[in-house]
A and B are shown apart, each in its own frame.
Chain A
C-alpha cells in the first residue's frame, strides 16, 4: 500500500515505524493517507499494531521512524495537549470527581472560553448525544451506554477536526453497540469530522467505515472500502479475517489473463481469479465466500469446473441455511443459502457437485 500515502491527505502516516524495545517493530513501515471528513477504521487482531498507530496519532507514543502529518504539518514533535485531536477512550476516561457538565466544560476551560460560551457549547454537545438532562450527574451515576455518550460528547465539544476512537463500544452489550455504531457514524458525517476508529470487531468496521485498514503483524494488509474488502480480499489474511471464508489449497496449472485453473491436492480442478499468483506451478490458497458457492448446475457456466462434495451437516438458521460439506478433504467447507421457497435443503450424507463463478473465487498467497 506504499502508493496510498500521498501528501494531500488530512492525516498522513509516512513510512512510520514503531518499536518499544529497539528490537521488535510493532509497526513496520506504515503508509496511510486519510482524507478530510473520512471515517477510517483500523481493524486487526490484538497485537497487530492498530492501537499503537492511534496512540502515535494522539501523541501518547512517539514514532521510532517516519513522519506523521496532520493537515500538512508534521506532528511528531508536538505534545498531545497541543494537537487539538478529540479522543474517545476504551474505558471512557471520564473524570470521576467532576459532573457530566464539568467533564464537558474541561476542554473548553483549558482553551479559556468564556463562561456563557462554555455553557452553550456544553448544552449543545449534551443535546447532540441526547443526554441533555444529565449535566448535573456524576459519571458513576450513569450506565455504561450513557457514559459512552458523554465520552463521545466530550471528545466533540471542542470541535476538533479529527477524532480518534479506541474500541469505544467494546464494553457495551450487543444491542446498545449496534445503536451506538449508528449514532457515531451519523454524528461523524453530520459534523463532517475526520474519524479514526480502532476496533477488532469486523462487523463494526464494515458497517461504520468509509475505508477500512486491516492490520496484521505491524502492517496494513489491505486498505479498502468495506464492500471491496469483503468481496475482493487481496491476501489470505484479509480473506480469513473478514467474514466467513472457505479456503482450499492447490497449485496453479493454467493462467489465462483474469482467470486461472487451480489443481487441488486431491487432483480436482477449479476456476479462480488470480490475485497474488503470477505463474503456473505456484502454490496458492483459494478463497470463496460461503454465500457464493452454487450447487445448482443450471446457474453455472456449462464448462465450469465442478468439485465433488459430501454433505456433512445441515443447520437451519432461520433466514439462511448453513451447510457444512467435505470438499477435497476439507471438512469445514461451509455454504450458505437463502431460505427461499424454492431452496433445496441438502440431506447429510448426500453427494453433490459444487461450483462458482470464477470472479467469486480468488487465488491468493499460499
Chain B
C-alpha cells in the first residue's frame, strides 16, 4: 500500500485500515437514506418499499407516475409556487442585509463588532423551534403572522448568518488599499463599491446567497409557525404528506430537491475555487 510507510508498526497498519472503515461507515450513514429515496421515487406502486419487480430491474416496476402526480396535483403546485416566490425574495433580503452587515462589521472602528456579529449570527445557533416560537409571538403582535411577508422576513433572518459568514470570509483577504486607490483615482464610494469591492467579494456573496436560498427552500419549522395555509411551502406539504397520506410523491419531490441542492452546492464549490484563484492573484 502506498499510503503506509514501510516503517509503520502493526498498530499503525491496523489503525490505517480501521480509520478508512470508520470514514466509509460515516459516509454510508450520511448518504444512504438520501440515495435510497431516489430509486424508490420511480416506484410503480404506491408503496415506500422496493417491489420484487424493482429488485429484478424489470422496467415494469418503474414509472414516473409520482413525478406526474407532483406536477399535476394542485396542492403540490401551490406549495411549489409558494416556495419559489418566498425563497428568492428571502434570499435577496438576506444577501442585501448580510453583505452590508459583513462590510460594516469588517471595519475596525465599529464599536461592539463582536457583540453585533454574535447577535446577527444567532439564528444559526439558537434551536430553530425557539426562533420559530419567538417569531410567532413577535409577528403576531406586528400583524405579520400568517402573511407572505412574515414568512419572507423570517426566512431572511435565517439566511442572513450564512451571508455574513461567507462575505466576511472573502473580506478577510480583501486588500483595502484597492478602495483607497479607487478613491484616489476619482471614484466616489458607490462607484468604488460597485466596480472594485463587489466584483472581488462576489464569490462570497453568491455562496451566501445559495446557502440562504437552500435554507428558505428546505425550511419547515419556522414556516409552520409563522405562515398560514396560504403560505404552505414544499417542505410543509411534504410534512403534511407524511402525516396524512403516505404517498411516494414525497419521494419524487425529495429527489427533485436533492438534485437542486446538489446543483447549487456544485455551483458554490466552483465559485469557491474561482474566488481562491482571484485572491491568489491579488498582488501582495
A-side residues, CB < 8 A to B, are 58-60, 79-87, 89-97, 106-107, 110-111, 138-140, 147, 154, 158
- Which residue from chain A places its CB closest to the CB of B284 in the assembled complex? A91
Q: A106-B195, A110-B191 are in contact. Are A84 and B186 (CB under 8 A)?
A: yes
The answer for the CA separation of A59 and B182 in the assembled complex, in Å, is: 13
Q: Could you tell me the distance between the alpha carbons of A236 and B261 in the complex, rounded to whole angstroms?
A: 71
B196's closest neighbor in chain A, by CB?
Answer: A95
Point out the residues of chain A lying under 8 angstroms from B2, CB to CB: none
> Is A140 within 8 A of B283, CB to CB?
yes
Other-chain contact of B185, A59, A92, A107 (Cβ < 8 Å):
A107
Complex contacts, B196 vs chain A, CB 8 Å: 95
Overall SS of chain A's interface? loop
Contacts of B189 in A (CB 8 A): 81
Chain A residues with Cβ below 8 Å from B186 are 81-82, 84, 107, 110-111, 158
Query: Is the CB of B6 closer than 8 A to any CB of chain A?
Result: no
Q: Is B278 an interface residue (CB 8 A)?
A: yes
B46 CB within 8 Å of chain A:
no
Do A97 and B181 touch across chains, with their CB atoms under 8 A apart? Answer: no
CB-contact partner of A106 in B180, B187, B199, under 8 A: B187
Query: With a CB–CB cut-off of 8 A, which chain B residues contact A107?
Result: 185-187
B109, chain A: closest CB distance, angstroms: 11
Taking CB atoms, residues of chain B closer than 8 Å to A60 are 180, 183
**Contact in complex: B175, A91 (CB < 8 Å):** yes
CB neighbours of B280 from chain A (8 A): 140
B281's nearest neighbour on chain A, judged by CB, is A140
Complex formed: what's the CA distance from A96 to B203 in Å?
Answer: 14
Question: When the two chains form their complex, are residues A93 and B188 in contact, meaning their CB atoms are under 8 A apart?
Answer: no
Whether A97 pairs with B283 at a CB distance below 8 angstroms is no
Known: A95-B196, A138-B281. 15 other contacts (CB 8 A): A60-B183, A80-B184, A81-B183, A87-B181, A89-B180, A91-B175, A93-B177, A94-B181, A96-B200, A96-B282, A110-B186, A110-B188, A140-B280, A140-B281, A147-B283
Contact of A93 among B178, B187, B191 (CB under 8 A): B178
On chain A, the residues within 8 Å of B191 by CB distance are 110
CA distance A140 to B192 in the complex (A): 21
CB nearest to A85 among chain B residues: B184
Can you list 22 contacts pairing A with B, beta carbon distance less than 8 Å? A59-B184, A60-B180, A79-B183, A81-B182, A81-B185, A86-B184, A86-B185, A89-B180, A91-B177, A91-B284, A93-B177, A93-B180, A93-B181, A95-B196, A96-B278, A96-B281, A96-B282, A110-B185, A111-B186, A138-B281, A139-B281, A158-B185
- CB contacts (< 8 Å) of B183 on chain A: these are 59-60, 79-81
Q: What are the residues of chain A within 8 A of B282 when measuring CB–CB?
A: 96, 140
In the complex, which residues of chain B have a beta carbon less than 8 angstroms from the beta carbon of A83? 184
- Measured CB to CB, the residues of B under 8 A from A are 175, 177-178, 180-189, 191-192, 195-196, 199-200, 278, 280-284
Residues of B within 8 A of A92 (CB): 283
Sorted from nearest, which 6 A-B pairs have the closest CB atoms?
Answer: A140-B281, A107-B185, A93-B181, A93-B177, A96-B282, A80-B183
Residues of chain A contacted by B181 (CB below 8 angstroms)? 87, 89, 93-95
- The interface centre, meaning the residue of A82, A84, A85, A110 with most chain B CB atoms within 10 A of its CB, is A110
Q: Do most interface residues of chain B lie in helix, strand or loop, or is the interface mixed?
A: helix
Contacts of B192 in A (CB 8 A): 81
In the bound complex, residues from chain B placing their C-beta under 8 Å from that of A90 are: 177
Nearest B residue to A151 via CB reads B181
Which residues does chain B contribute within 8 Å of A82, judged by CB atoms? 186
Smallest beta-carbon distance A110→chain B, Å: 5
Instruction: Give the docked Cα–Cα distance between A92 and B187 (Å).
Output: 17
Bound Cα distance from A204 to B188, whole angstroms: 34
Complex interface: chain A residues within 8 A of B177 (CB): 89-91, 93
B260 to chain A, nearest CB (A): 29
- Measured between beta carbons, the chain B residues less than 8 angstroms from A139 are 281, 283
The contact of A58 among B184, B187, B283, by CB within 8 Å, is: B184
Measured CB to CB, the closest approach of chain B to A116, in angstroms, equals 20
Complex alpha-carbon distance, A318 and B250, angstroms: 88
A28 to B215, CA, bound (A): 55
**Best-surrounded residue of B183, B192, B196 (most CB of chain A within 10 A):** B183
CA distance A247 to B181 in the complex (A): 43
Report Cα–Cα, A90/B176, bound state, in Å.
Answer: 12
Minimum CB–CB distance for A212 against chain B, Å: 24
> Across the interface, which residues of B come within 8 angstroms of A96, CB to CB?
200, 278, 281-283
Q: How far is the CB of B85 from chain A (nearest CB, A)?
A: 34
Residues of B within 8 A of A158 (CB): 185-186
Given the known inter-chain contacts A95-B196, A96-B278, A97-B200, please indicate yes or no for A81 contacting B184, CB distance below 8 A.
yes
* Residue pair A93, B281 in contact (C-beta under 8 Å): no
Q: Which residue of B lies closest to A106 (CB)?
A: B185
Nearest Cβ on chain B to A209's Cβ, whole angstroms: 22
Residues of B close to A85: CB separation below 8 A:
184
A32 to B195, CA, bound (A): 36
How far apart are the CA atoms of A95 and B180 in the complex, in Å?
Answer: 11
CB distance from B65 to the nearest CB of A (A): 49
Closest to A157 in B: B185
- A107 CA to B195 CA in the complex, in Å? 11
Q: Find the B residue at minimum CB distance from A90.
A: B177
Residue in A58, A80, A85, A147 whose Cβ sees the most chain B Cβ within 10 Å: A80
Name which residue of chain B comes closest to A140, CB basis. B281
Query: In the complex, are the beta carbons of A80 and B281 less than 8 A apart?
Result: no
Most chain A beta-carbon neighbours within 10 Å: one of B187, B200, B280, B283? B283
Bound together, the chains give a CA A46 to CA B180 distance in angstroms of: 21
Q: Are B200 and A80 in contact (CB under 8 A)?
A: no
User: In whole Å, how far is A333's beta carbon from the nearest beta carbon of chain B?
Assistant: 43
* B175 contacts across to A, CB distance below 8 A: 91, 93
CA distance A110 to B181 in the complex (A): 13
A291 to B181, CA, bound (A): 44
Assess the A91–B182 pair: CB atoms within 8 A.
Answer: no
